[in-house]
Amino acid sequence: MTMTIAGLSIARGGVPVLEGVSFALTPGRALILRGPNGCGKTTLLRTIAGLQPPLAGEVKIDGASEGDDIAYAGHADGIKLTLTVAENLKFWAAIFAMDEIDSALDAFDLRSLRDRQAGALSAGQKRRLGLARLMVTGRRYWILDEPTVSLDRASVQQFADVVQGHLAGGGAALIATHIDLGLDGDTLDVSRFRAKLPDLDNFDGAFL
Ligand SMILES: Nc1ncnc2c1ncn2[C@@H]1O[C@H](COP(=O)(O)OP(=O)(O)OP(=O)(O)O)[C@@H](O)[C@H]1O
């Protein structure tokens, strides 16, 4: 069950961002995406997660329909502010036909907050809840965009432990992050796939 990214070209706001992106993501491994701000990591992750179509190329997972084995956590936490922490996780578990939320509560130290309305959580607590969501999806490929934003040092370690456990259980993770999480895996600098624009010195200006 390998995810293969083959010749993917992607655009944001109609402007090509990355071209010919190719790599494989294998179970048991993480792939860390690096690259300077604005080079296209978020756009790439959104495309792989099926939230926007590529200009060219494809995302294939051996033995699975497209997107069927992917869980995505982007910049937004995707939580319902008027539901409690436990209700949020139960909601997401139901979407993915899962029923157990206790391991997710424990892994992200959310048990004491389980009956708190999500709208009354701190930024870091909201992020922990947003990440705990991954554990109730049952999905193999975690696609994560800057997952550690707002997390304190202990929570970053907690998160890294959860991802490492996911890898050990046969999962895989594709993560855009600027920090070192110490995971089993490799690093890919996506700036080598930058689309060739007429004026490369003004890459950011092309989006105005
Ligand atoms: N909604 C949008 N419409 C048009 N252009 C956009 C939009 N969102 C982002 N962009 C531009 O697309 C390019 C790629 O952005 P993207 O968010 O993929 O980069 P990134 O590598 O994830 O950046 P960062 O490290 O800052 O999160 C950037 O130059 C950005 O300004």
The answer to whether residue 15 is domain-embedded is no
Residue 66 has pLDDT above 70, yes or no: no
- The finding on whether 38 has its CB within 6 A of some atom of ligand 1 is yes
First and final C-alpha spacing in the chain = 40
The answer to whether residue 124 is domain-embedded is yes
Q: By residue range, what is the domain housing residue 114?
A: 26-54+63-189
Residue 145 has pLDDT above 80, yes or no: yes
Atom 3 of ligand 1 has which residue's CA nearest to it? 13
DSSP reduced 3-state for 70: strand
ipTM value greater than 0.85: yes
Residue 202 has pLDDT above 90, yes or no: no
Residue 105 has pLDDT above 60, yes or no: yes
Positive or negative torsion for Cα 37, 38, 39, 43: positive
- The finding on whether 207 has its CB within 6 A of some atom of ligand 1 is yes
The answer to whether residue 14 is domain-embedded is no
The pLDDT, as a whole number, for residue 77 is: 81
Count of domains observed in the chain: 1
The answer to whether residue 86 is domain-embedded is yes
CATH of the domain at 183: 3.40.50.300
The answer to whether residue 2 is domain-embedded is no
CA of 50 to the centre of ligand 1 (A): 17
The answer to whether residue 202 is domain-embedded is no
Tell me the C-alpha distance between 88 and 109, whole Å: 15
User: What is the Cα Rg of the chain in Å?
Assistant: 17
Question: How confident is the model over 153-186, as pLDDT tens digits?
Answer: 999 999 999 999 999 999 999 999 999 999 989 9
